[in-house]
Structure 1
Amino acid sequence: MSKISTESARHALNGPTMGTRWSALFFAKPCFDPAPVHAALQAAVDEVDGQMSTWKPDSDLMRLNAAPAGEWVTVPNRLKQVLRLGLEIGRASAGAFDIGMGDAVTAWGFGPKAAAPDGIRAAMDAPRRPAHDLLEICGDQVRKSAPIALDLNGIAKGYGVDRLIETLRDHVITDALVGIDGEMRAFGLRPDGEAWTIAVEAPDPERRTPHSILALQDAAVATSGDYRHWVEVQGRRLSHTMDPRRGAPLITPPASVTMVARTCAEADAWATAFMVLGSDRGAELARKRGLDALFLVRNDEGTARGVGVGRLFSEEAAAIASAGGR
């Protein structure tokens, strides 16, 4: 064991957020009091949830959703940052990532209400324009040029992970691994000088097993898949990821997409975009933009084969990749 590790105490903090739990793992001097850090981390994710939740009727996002088209609405800075990033990735993915799918998410039962047949028909019949065509941001104000239901479930957890990192840095913690559900971000190194290791989960709905291992330093990883959250229609499981073209769940998505990026918000949003695009179109766009992504695609036998793109995943069979952040 290294000298550093013998002089450090391990701290594994966690708490509730966004229907799941956040976690933070770091090492500090034995006399370090983690209580103020735990409180600050909880406050950070509570702020994100309070601003961006579709489950809280009084969130800033739901206030924006309730505002009539054409009316400028003042929003807090963090919500504005996430809206702006969502629109940027929406444009870059040609609408595959669309934060304007709230009506479909709700109608199909992936929000706070049960699935509603009338809502499903309305969502599928509604003419659709992407959020990046309908939302305008000016200073700290946002307005919709037409009615649209915004939903940030494909990016808010990732942003919450980024806020955990920022909060630890504010407390002069320089090495840590943090996460919310399956979205993770590492910065610095472990006490032994090695990168943080993270498992890429195999797309198995019955059990949690690793498909491969990532070694991360100063980078974030997010996975979007069809095997944890779904609805069953006529005996068929449908992914929680919405197809912006149809206002309905994806029909034949990849089993999962794992994305490594500089921030977890970016990784979260791009993983969703690549699920929508599929392995062929998604891999083509990832190569074009120099992104690191791993597509797991089921074959006829039900097992998953990997399609790796980018510096980290070009040797996917090796099952180990290291990231320095972009």
Structure 2
Amino acid sequence: MSKTFIEGGLIRHALNGPTMGTRWTAVFHAERGFDAEPLRQALQAAVDEVDNQMSAWKPASDMNRLSAAPAGEWLEVPRHLLAVLRLGVEIGQASGGAFDIGLGDAVSAWGFGPDTASAARIRAARVARRRPAHELLEFGEGRVRKLARLVLDLNGIAKGYGVDRLSETLKHAGIASGLVGIDGEMRALGLRSDDTPWAIAVETPDPARRAAHAVLELEDAAVATSGDYRHWIEAGGRRLSHTMDPRRGAPLENSPASVTVVAERCAAADAWATALMVLGPERGAALAKQRGLDALFLVRDSRGGAEDLPLGKLFAAGGADAAGPECR
């Protein structure tokens, strides 16, 4: 789908399409006469490639093929999956295992994957003797092998990588300024046509409504948020977040309402947002400071609101302003 508008002599294009159970978006300006349809097709192909390689819902995906492979067997994998696995392992190690791409069994057991929840599989996931994925994946030239049984899950990084692929596709088409996103994970290229930054909302952590808590102004940067208020299940009268605690093989308990991270690449922002969510405001803040990350924790207070814990130069300098529109 595409829409066009005239702004200051340039044509504003707004493209979108389906991917990963949600939709991708791309907004950019181009000269009159620019045919956006080939670019829309290229953007769709880019995210389809990511989804086909990394989906837990597609039995034939390359990720599922790797999960099913015997331990110790080298397997050739496509370059995009290989890049995501390497980055996942890198951030997994840097976060002390808080980000772990090897929790596919737990994600599936609790009903956050393509299968319905199973009490037997939940019990198995919780008692499993786990080693993090960064200890169990070994890389070669264009190939990877597992050193032990490992069920992969890339939900905490694949959408961010898909956003990066959208950004790369725009650049390849000669578009130097734009805003792309998948389900709230966003990446800004350059400035808007009026030389102002792209404005992106940090959402209020409220499952009942969509509203902006604050607004970021970004140039050549990406942002991702991990939260407990959009994807969850009810169990035993409690609302359980989709984010897994690697130590327990179960959904997080007493987590922040959300963590937003700004980074150069959206895949990294996506993974770090998950890692800091798992670590929580104390340990997560300490690691964010150590790593020099730009992050915003929203922590629920006793009144049901959310208190800000800003970290890094961007947020400390007031980079997140008062509530406003999601993007403009």
TM-score by length of 2: 0.95
State the partner residue of 2:199.
Answer: 197
2:125 pairs with 1:115: no
d(CA) in 1 for partners of 2:251 and 2:236? 14
Counterpart AA for 2:179? L
d(CA) in 2 for partners of 1:230 and 1:187? 32
State the partner residue of 1:229.
Answer: 231
d(CA) in 2 for partners of 1:317 and 1:233? 38
Distance change >3 Å, CA 117–CA 177, structure 1 → 2: same
Per-residue deviation, 1:318: 6.0
Counterpart AA for 1:175? S
Verify the 8 A CA contact 2:207 2:230 in the aligned structure 1: yes
Per-residue deviation, 1:316: 5.2
Match of 1:313 among 303, 312, 315: 315
d(CA) in 2 for partners of 1:300 and 1:240? 23
Query: Unpaired runs of 5+ in structure 2?
Result: 1-5, 323-328
Per-residue deviation, 1:282: 0.5
Distance change >3 Å, CA 241–CA 316, structure 1 → 2: farther
Per-residue deviation, 1:30: 1.5
State the partner residue of 1:273.
Answer: 275
d(CA) in 2 for partners of 1:314 and 1:234? 39
2:31 pairs with 1:29: yes
State the partner residue of 2:53.
Answer: 51
Counterpart AA for 2:279? L
d(CA) in 1 for partners of 2:15 and 2:102? 34
State the partner residue of 1:68.
Answer: 70
Distance change >3 Å, CA 54–CA 308, structure 1 → 2: same
State the partner residue of 1:130.
Answer: 132
d(CA) in 1 for partners of 2:198 and 2:227? 23
2:80 pairs with 1:84: no
2:125 pairs with 1:139: no
Per-residue deviation, 1:317: 9.2
Question: Which aligned runs of 4 or more in structure 1 are off by greater than 3 angstroms?
Answer: 315-318
List per-residue Cα deviations over 1:98-126 (Å, max 9, x = no partner): 00000000000000011110010000010
Verify the 8 A CA contact 1:293 1:308 in the aligned structure 2: yes
Verify the 8 A CA contact 2:255 2:277 in the aligned structure 1: yes
List per-residue Cα deviations over 1:191-237 (Å, max 9, x = no partner): 11100000000000000000000000000000000000011111100
Verify the 8 A CA contact 1:308 1:316 in the aligned structure 2: no
> RMSD over aligned Cα, in angstroms?
1.3
Counterpart AA for 1:154? G
Per-residue deviation, 1:5: 4.3
Counterpart AA for 1:95? G
Verify the 8 A CA contact 1:296 1:305 in the aligned structure 2: yes
d(CA) in 2 for partners of 1:240 and 1:5? 41
State the partner residue of 1:254.
Answer: 256
d(CA) in 1 for partners of 2:302 and 2:137? 42
Per-residue deviation, 1:301: 1.3
List per-residue Cα deviations over 1:154-197 (Å, max 9, x = no partner): 00000000000000111000100000001000011111110000
> Percent of counterpart pairs with the same letter?
67
Verify the 8 A CA contact 2:222 2:265 in the aligned structure 1: yes
Per-residue deviation, 1:248: 0.2
Verify the 8 A CA contact 1:97 1:269 in the aligned structure 2: yes
d(CA) in 2 for partners of 1:285 and 1:314? 16
State the partner residue of 2:177.
Answer: 175
Distance change >3 Å, CA 261–CA 13, structure 1 → 2: same
Matched pairs, number: 318
Verify the 8 A CA contact 2:57 2:114 in the aligned structure 1: yes
List per-residue Cα deviations over 1:107-155 (Å, max 9, x = no partner): 0000001111001000001001000001101111111110010110000
Distance change >3 Å, CA 318–CA 267, structure 1 → 2: closer
Question: SS where residue 315 of structure 2 aligns?
Answer: coil
List per-residue Cα deviations over 1:7-62 (Å, max 9, x = no partner): 20010000000000000000001211000000000000000000000100000011
Per-residue deviation, 1:319: 2.1
d(CA) in 2 for partners of 1:314 and 1:28? 35
Distance change >3 Å, CA 63–CA 318, structure 1 → 2: closer
Question: SS where residue 313 of structure 1 aligns?
Answer: helix
d(CA) in 2 for partners of 1:261 and 1:318? 14
Counterpart AA for 2:260? T
Per-residue deviation, 1:302: 1.0
Query: Unpaired runs of 5+ in structure 1?
Result: 321-326
State the partner residue of 2:3.
Answer: none
2:158 pairs with 1:148: no
Verify the 8 A CA contact 1:5 1:192 in the aligned structure 2: no
State the partner residue of 2:326.
Answer: none
2:13 pairs with 1:11: yes
